[in-house]
């Protein structure tokens, strides 16, 4: 009876045959990773939270277009005589509105209808839904991914997963992979729902969809625009993975990413203001800091596509922060965003690898 047996690593024990009812799949790195991504998606699909968030995304897209269509319905149900007032706007060339014919009044109504229903039709409907999806969808994906990453620690299932065979890196990459799939599905779900809702509601206006804008170039820019929107979601979702891993809880994942999202927006605005008031090199320095924020670089990527898709006058959410995103080149934006992605994934990987899994 010895207390100090000798350790030997010589001669790896060959595994005995398993029972015939255990059917193993391919065990190469990629196959294992793909199976884990499938597993993550399966878990997400079975969660009530995912369904609720999916319904919310769908409802947001629908509600936005319903609200926008209220203007169309208002114009439609307003008698043509009401549109006399619109001629007062032509200031430099005064028109005697009272002398407008019924046809002119009808034309005025039609012109206004054309304008108010414009966001219901492509390409403006795409712009509208993406601008809405950027902040609201990002919040939804952060909630979903924060619970996916932090939930493993909150529930304690990380012990179960980490003792099954795949490496911790594979588990982390599976979460990143599932996040990307969710991002693609989410952005497409909201975009398609928004565009279809807009088209359906536009039927009431009686104005047909004009596809003159459509070209190969437009399609290319539109794809890049949607990809930039997906990148926006993905980055905040990756931040949620990082904070969920760091804080080992769902709340940490969600709150970390949401706080980043909010603080960056507020800080960007404050730095811009501070830059304006403190003139000179220091002011320029302060104004330049937001150029390295996630939101501004995503905004730059999107704005650089918007001008091809919607024209220069299109509405952009990023403009409201007063950032100088339009001055940021695509290359600058892509490099900055790549650095953020690498930093957050890298840190999450490092924490995941080094950390002891205790209670």
Using the structure block, give the residue that is written with the tokens 């940490």.
252
Nearer to another protein, 7 or 67 (CB): 7
Minimum gap (Å) between residue 182 Cβ and another protein: 17
Question: Rounded distance, CA 30 to CA 4, Å?
Answer: 41
Minimum gap (Å) between residue 20 Cβ and another protein: 9
Question: Rounded distance, CA 98 to CA 44, Å?
Answer: 63
Contacts (Cβ under 8 Å, ≥6 apart) of 250:
146, 147, 150, 151, 154, 244
Question: Rounded distance, CA 275 to CA 270, Å?
Answer: 8
Helix or strand run (H / E) with residue 151: helix 124-155
Minimum gap (Å) between residue 179 Cβ and another protein: 18
Return the structure tokens found at 60.
């947001």
Cβ atoms of residues 240 and 253 within 8 Å = yes
Report the sign of the C-alpha dihedral through residues 176, 179, 183, 184, in that order: positive
Return the structure tokens found at 104.
């002119």
Minimum gap (Å) between residue 89 Cβ and another protein: 58
Nearer to another protein, 33 or 230 (CB): 33
Minimum gap (Å) between residue 271 Cβ and another protein: 41
Cβ atoms of residues 75 and 116 within 8 Å = yes
Minimum gap (Å) between residue 34 Cβ and another protein: 10
Nearer to another protein, 34 or 347 (CB): 34
The residue ranges that bind another protein (CB under 8 A) are 1-13, 15-16, 18-19, 21-25, 27, 32, 35-36, 38-39, 42-43, 46-48, 155-157, 159-167, 356-359
Nearer to another protein, 76 or 357 (CB): 357
For residue 231, the tally of other CB atoms under 10 A from its CB is: 21
Return the structure tokens found at 331.
């290359």
Nearer to another protein, 12 or 77 (CB): 12
Nearer to another protein, 146 or 166 (CB): 166
């Amino acid at each position: 009876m010895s207390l100090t047996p000798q350790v030997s690593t010589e001669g790896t024990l060959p595994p005995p045959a398993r029972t015939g009812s255990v059917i193993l799949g391919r065990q190469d790195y990629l196959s294992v990773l793909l199976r884990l991504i499938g597993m993550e998606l399966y878990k997400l699909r079975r969660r009530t939270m995912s369904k609720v968030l999916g319904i919310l995304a769908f409802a947001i897209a629908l509600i936005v277009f319903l609200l926008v269509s209220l203007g169309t319905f208002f114009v439609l149900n307003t008698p043509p005589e009401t549109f006399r007032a619109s001629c007062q706007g032509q200031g430099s060339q005064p028109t005697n509105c009272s002398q407008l014919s019924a046809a002119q009044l009808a034309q005025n109504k039609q012109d206004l209808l054309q304008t108010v229903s414009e966001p219901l039709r492509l390409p403006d409907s795409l712009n509208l839904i993406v601008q809405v999806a950027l902040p609201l969808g990002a919040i939804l994906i952060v909630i979903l991914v924060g619970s996916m990453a932090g939930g493993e620690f909150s529930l304690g299932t990380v012990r179960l997963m980490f003792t099954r065979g795949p490496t911790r890196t594979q588990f982390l990459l599976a979460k990143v992979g599932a996040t990307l799939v969710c991002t693609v599905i989410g952005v497409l779900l909201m975009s398609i729902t928004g565009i279809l809702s807009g088209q359906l509601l536009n039927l009431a206006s009686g104005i047909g969809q004009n596809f003159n804008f459509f070209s190969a170039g437009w399609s290319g820019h539109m794809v890049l625009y949607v990809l930039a929107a997906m990148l926006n979601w993905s980055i905040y979702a990756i931040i949620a993975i990082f904070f969920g891993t760091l804080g080992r809880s769902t709340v940490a994942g969600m709150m970390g990413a949401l706080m980043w999202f909010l603080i960056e927006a507020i800080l960007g605005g404050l730095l811009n203001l501070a830059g304006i008031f403190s003139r000179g090199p220091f002011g320029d320095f302060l104004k330049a800091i937001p150029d390295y924020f996630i939101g501004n670089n995503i905004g730059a990527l999107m704005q650089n596509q918007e001008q091809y898709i919607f024209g220069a006058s299109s509405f952009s959410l990023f403009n409201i922060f007063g950032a100088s995103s339009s001055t940021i080149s695509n290359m600058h934006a892509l490099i900055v965003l790549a650095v953020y992605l690498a930093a957050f994934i890298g840190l999450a990987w490092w924490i995941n690898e080094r950390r002891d899994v205790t209670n």
